[in-house]
Structures are given as structure tokens and as C-alpha cells.
Amino acid sequence: MAHGSAYSIVIRMHVTPEVHASGAIVTTVTKAGAVITGLDVTDSGHEVTVLDLSALARDPEHAEEIRDSLNTIEGCTVNKISDSVFLIHLGGKIEVGLKVPLRNRTDLARAYTPGVARVCSAIAENPEDARNLTIKRNTVAVVTDGSAVLGLGNIGPEASMPVMEGKAALFKKFANVDAWPICLDTQDVDEIIRTVEIIAPGFGGINLEDISAPRCFEVERELRKRLNIPVFHDDQHGTAVVVLAALINAAKLVNKELANLTIVMSGAGAAGAAVADLLLVAGVKDITLFDSKGAVHSARTNLDPARMDLAQRTNPNDFAGTLQEALVGADVFIGVSQPNLITAQDVSTMAMDSIVFALANPDPEINPIEAAKFAKVVATGRSDYPNQINNVLAFPGIFRGLLDSGAIKITEKVLIASAEAIAQCVSEEALSPVYIVPSVFDPSVAPAVAAAVIHASE
């Protein structure tokens, strides 16, 4: 495994001044295979100096190897090793802040009792006023049951909290939306639906997150019927929007029309189904999906209702062969499934100027370097390769637009408009095989998406 920020560590050690001056610490850590990013004195004394050494390690086991190597130096004792990822999670990553001053009794009387009673009465008379007179107009619930968290699977509500906090942090950073993690200790569909329904009055939108398929489909479908605020399952529609945005630009780059593309997809779960649905709406006509049991086609007898519906709207040739056979002559491969499913040899059989989106995370369906030997455009879900297909390009701006417009429903028109807005954030001059989607830190993206959503919601 390569070095990366996921295993950034800080080593605190006590050393003698002689050891500090000798360069033995730097030599030992470098020899152990770590990349040093900083060396700071935190306490200097005549007999002992306290040092904090920052470094990139391969993994936790490598960090322990570095500790052992340092402890072999006479006059050096490692006190502790801190993982920087864990350090930023101490106490959580988000907090509630005040928007109004509470300096004196007058402020208190206006913000709370007795003044607040007048506001409560106004909302009781006209519930629509809650949007303007409370946090509702800028607040989103990030709801999960912990059943499909990242690539970790069904790890439960407590273990899902760091991801949901991170999602809330992204909402705030990129679109100034106040989001809050709601991690439910149930995986019963009816309980999830009812729980979200009864907490909904305090929120302007619901972002469903990391709920496994096929339950996520029913949860989203029923909540959209019951609630008068937008409900968005990011694993489905956020992924679909960014994939479509990337495909719009990739197709432009290889001079092919969306309607003429032959697409092979691996993964027919929540993300795969949503991607296929949105591509069909966008005008793609030929998509063949594969799940763990093979090609999804109408003659299969082991399909659940969701996949049977997909089978009736995709795979126009009723293809029933293998994934590798389907790739022969295909223009596009999109993977939202599992690692190492295809090889460079498979990509070599695709059409000229082929496009490969290998989005399984953290390990894609094919190593991007291998795919690039034959594909014209390669994208992944990872941040350490070009063309990262990242949902953060979509959901902050989508919710910003929905909240600002007061829209109740998320339509196909909204999703298409969001994808086109993301695609347009890459200029004609900048468009290249290694730059088909904007950076997640591009400040123009969320406002552009929000504006597109507002226009599409009119």
C-alpha cells in the first residue's frame, strides 16, 4: 500500500540533545520507509528534548515498525504515536453555533422567553412561517441505519457516525447548509420511514445515506410520498448525477453522442440502478448491467422486483453472456461494484477511444494505470488518481438549490440540470482525458449546481 494521508502519524519522543543533533532520528525513520513531513521541538531541556515527528506511513503496522526502530536508538524513547485521522475525530467534527447575540437580558428576552412565544403563536397560525422563522429553511437531516457504510458494510449506527458527521461537514463547507447526523438504531423499513416522518418538521430536507439496497428504494419512495420536503438518497442520485456529468464531458472528448454509446455496467444495487436510470433519461439507449450473478436480463428467474424493472428497460439485446464478452466493442464501462473485476486485456477489446469509470472504493474494478493503457478516459472514486467521481460535487449544491427555491420534490429535470451544471464547470480549454470533472474544491461548482436546481424547480 502506498503512503497516504489516511496514515499520517505524529510520533512524540523524548531524546537527548546529542541524539537530536546527530540526525539519527531522520535517518532511522527514512530508512524504515516513512516519509517525514515535519520535525518540531515541543519542549527543550538540557538533558531531554521532546520532539514531535510528523510522517506518512503505509498502515498502522508500519507505524509500529517505525516505533521499534526509533526505540533502538540509544537516548531516544518513543512516548506515543498519534494517528492524525483519529486526532481530528476527537470530540466529533461538527458543532452547533449561535447566529444571534445573547449578551444581556434584552437579547435573552427576544431570543427566548417571553419574546419567543409570539413567534411560536405565529407559526401555529401559519405553519408555512416555520421556513422563515426557524432553522428549517437551511437544515438537512443526514439519515442512516448503518447498513451499508462506505465499503465497510453493515457496521451499525454508532460506527456510522464519523461518516455522517463528515457528510454534515461537507454540507457546511461547500454550500453553507446546516446538516445533522441522524443514526437510527433500526434496520426495519417501516420504523425508518416512520421515524424520519415524525422528525421531519425540524428539517428542510432529508439526505438518506448508506442504507442498503433494496430497502433504500422503499424508504426513499415512501418518504417522498409522505413528506412535503425533498428526500434525496445520495448513494443513488448523487452518484448518478456526477457519473452523468463525467460522461457528458468524456463523450464530448471522444466525439461520441450519449445516445449512440454502448455502455456496460457492473453493479445493479442502489448506485448502479440510479446511474442506469439517469443515463436512460439523459438519452442513452444501450446499457447492459451485471450483478454478482451475471447479466441482468428479462429471462432471469432470480431477479428481485427492482432488478426486473431494470431488466425491462435496459439490455435491449437480451445479452446473457459474461462481463468480459459484453465489453467487446463497448464504448463505456462503468463499475460500481467490487475490486479487480476486469483487466487491461478486457479494456483492449472495447471500442476505439473507450471510457472506463472504475468507481469501486477504495479498490476499483481495474487499476486505473492498467485501464489507461487502452482506454482514452479513465475515472475512479479515489482522490489519488485523475477524474475523481465524488458525490461532493453534487449534493451540497443540489440541497442549496432545493432549500433556496423551497422545492418539495426532486425531479429528473433537477438531476439532469445538476449534472449539466457540473459538466459545464470544466471549460472547453481545460477539458482533457485527465480532467473531465471539476475539483471538489472548485468554489464555482456548488453555486452553479444550486442555480441550475433553482431554475429547474421553477
* φ, ψ (nearest 5 deg) of residue 243: -60, -45
Contact 253, 432 (CB under 8 A): yes
DSSP sequence for 251-275: HHHTT--GGG-EEEEE--SHHHHHH
Distance CA 263, CA 335 (A): 11
Of the candidates 58, 77, 71, the residue with the CA atom closest to the CA atom of residue 3? 58
Half-sphere exposure of 251 (CA within 13 A, CB side): 23
Q: Is 112 an annotated catalytic residue?
A: yes
| Cis peptide bond upstream of 305, omega within 30 | no
Sequence-distant (≥ 6) Cβ neighbours of residue 438 within 8 angstroms: 393, 422, 425, 426, 444, 445
Contact 415, 421 (CB under 8 A): no
Pick the catalytic residue from 7, 136, 167, 385: 167
DSSP sequence for 398-438: HHHHHHHHT-----HHHHHHHHHHHHHTS-TTT-BTTBSS-
Pick the catalytic residue from 112, 293, 373, 409: 112
Q: Is 136 an annotated catalytic residue?
A: no
**Residue 300 burial (10 A CB sphere; 0-12, 13-18, 19+):** middle
Kindly report the CA angle at 174 between 171 and 175, in degrees rounded to 5?
Answer: 70
Pairing of strands 139-144, 205-208: parallel
Contact 211, 148 (CB under 8 A): yes
Three-state DSSP class for residue 24: helix
CA gyration radius for the chain?
Answer: 26
Q: Which amino acid is at 120?
A: C
Distance CA 120, CA 455 (A): 33
DSSP sequence for 163-180: HHHHHHHHHHHHH--EEE
Pairing of strands 8-15, 49-56: antiparallel
Kindly report the CA angle at 394 between 448 and 373, in degrees rounded to 5?
Answer: 110
Distance CA 274, CA 280 (A): 10
Distance CA 234, CA 44 (A): 50
Active-site residues: which are they?
112, 167
